[in-house]
Amino acid sequence: MRLNIAVLPGDGIGPEIMKQALNITSAVCEKFGHTLTYKEAMVGACAIDATGDPYPAETHELCMRSDAVLFGAIGHPKFDNDPNAKVRPEQGLLRMRKQLGLYGNIRPVMTFPSLIHKSPLRADLVEGADFVCIRELTGGMYFGRPQGRSEDGDTAYDTCVYTREEIERVLHLAYKFAAQRRKKVTVVDKANVIATSRLWRQIAQEIAPQYPDIETDFLFVDNAAMRIIQWPRSFDVMVTENLFGDILTDEASVITGSLGLLPSASVGLHTSLFEPIHGSYPQATGKNIANPLAMILSAALMFEYGFNLMEEGALIREAVNASLQAGVVTEDIADGGKAYKTYEVGEWIEQFVKRWIG
């Protein structure tokens, strides 16, 4: 197979972790006889510095020509600390999602046996947790209009808007995933208060009978937030709107014990995008201490969800698990043991892939 991907390293640690993911992707392609072609483009703060635009037209055109997009991270303190900045890196991310039609964000949440002690939650709560969060990505408060501040600056407003089409397509995506897993969908909303949530619940109740072999339940978002901490094993596939999903998926990351371990995929109308859930970690830029595993596992998701190459993705997961068990990890999860550099972790996993005999 020919894999034609757009590579967007982004800001901060993005280029460092992307390099490792690309090296491992190349090794996997060589092992299985695939042809890999890719081209890099700018997005985020680096694109603002170079062009004034966080998502330049050239970057969008490259993404549209590609079969999948591998994305690093965006963000820079000079924008975070300036609430009056007119152009921000995050605007590029939102525009990219909208223009590529990236409507469903998929975040697997799982535990790694060798790292259960790293979670701030008790081991008996998180052990065996394995669920998927599916977040609607192109609607809701992040995109609703009007949005802004009054002329005197003392009033701010955001508008939450959802259409039937936006809700239906992400619910069908959730049921598709549940059919391949433990056949349970949990719809998270705030239907007792918010009108858009009542529309979510109504449409979910209409769609559920189309999947009679899949259990459907409903949770208010505040209850779901508690259940993630108290009983994470109760979830299989969780689906929710944009803002709730943003918050809940970051909360769920504590189950694994490190943001540096969780990948994500965004399913789109034109192409799909694969990225780690952590930020650009600007304090670590250039120090070779960033954890590359979430970026590498995002490449595994790319093989699986972007190209339907399940064995290739499984090999990357096997290699990552082997590195964890061998203690070849960066300082954030070294737990007092030897801390390896970003490139050393990447090279170890790359060599594991090259030595692998299927």
Tens digits of residue pLDDT in 177-204: 999 999 999 999 999 999 999 999 999 9
- Verdict on whether the full-model pTM lies above 0.85: yes
pLDDT band, very low/low/confident/very high, at 170 (cuts 50, 70, 90): very high
Q: Grade residue 288 by pLDDT with cuts at 50, 70 and 90.
A: very high
pLDDT of 189 reads 98
* CB-CB contact of 183 with 213 (8 Å): yes
What are 30-41's pLDDT values in tens digits?
999 999 999 999
DSSP-derived 3-state class of residue 312: helix
**pLDDT, tens digit, 9 for 90 and up, residues 252-277:** 988 987 777 889 999 999 999 999 98
Catalytic residue among 157, 222, 287, 338: 222
Q: What is the pLDDT of residue 358?
A: 73
Catalytic, 190? Answer: yes
Distance between CA atoms of residues 244 and 258, nearest Å: 21
According to DSSP, residue 131 is labeled E
250 is catalytic: yes
pLDDT of the residue at 302 = 97
Per-residue exposure over 48-72, b if at least 16 CB sit within 10 Å of its own CB, e if not? beeeebbbbeebbebbeebbbbbbb
CB count in 10 Å sphere of residue 30: 13
Q: Residue 14: what pLDDT?
A: 97
Question: For 312-329, how does the pLDDT look when each residue is reduced to its tens digit (9 = 90+)?
Answer: 999 999 999 999 999 999
CB neighbourhood size of 297 (10 A): 22
Least trusted range by pLDDT, from 80-84, 186-190, 222-226: 80-84
Residue 155 has pLDDT above 80, yes or no: yes
- CA quadruple 267, 285, 260, 350: dihedral sign: positive
142 part of the active site: yes
Of 250, 335, 341, 343, the catalytic one is: 250
Q: How confident is the model over 108-137, as pLDDT tens digits?
A: 998 888 888 888 899 999 999 999 999 999
Give the type of residue at 25. Answer: T
112 or 349, greater pLDDT: 349
Question: Which among 11, 103, 175, 190 is annotated as catalytic?
Answer: 190
What pLDDT does 112 receive?
84
The set of residues, in sequence order, having a beta carbon less than 8 Å from that of 231 and lying 6+ positions away, is 125
Q: Residue 40 phi/psi, 5° resolution?
A: -95, 150
Catalytic residue among 246, 335, 341, 343: 246
Q: What's the pLDDT at 342?
A: 97
pLDDT at 158: 96
Q: Give the sign of the dihedral formed by CA 317, CA 323, CA 327, CA 331.
A: negative
Q: Are 46 and 103 within 8 A, CB to CB?
A: no
Choice among 142, 211, 281, 340 that is catalytic = 142
pLDDT band of 45, cuts 50, 70, 90:
very high
Average pLDDT over residues 54-73: 97
Is 11 part of the annotated catalytic residue set? Answer: no
Average pLDDT, the chain: 94
Q: Are residues 352 and 322 in contact, defined by beta-carbon separation less than 8 angstroms?
A: yes
Give yes or no for a cis peptide into 146 (omega within 30° of 0).
yes
Task: DSSP letter for 25, please.
Answer: H
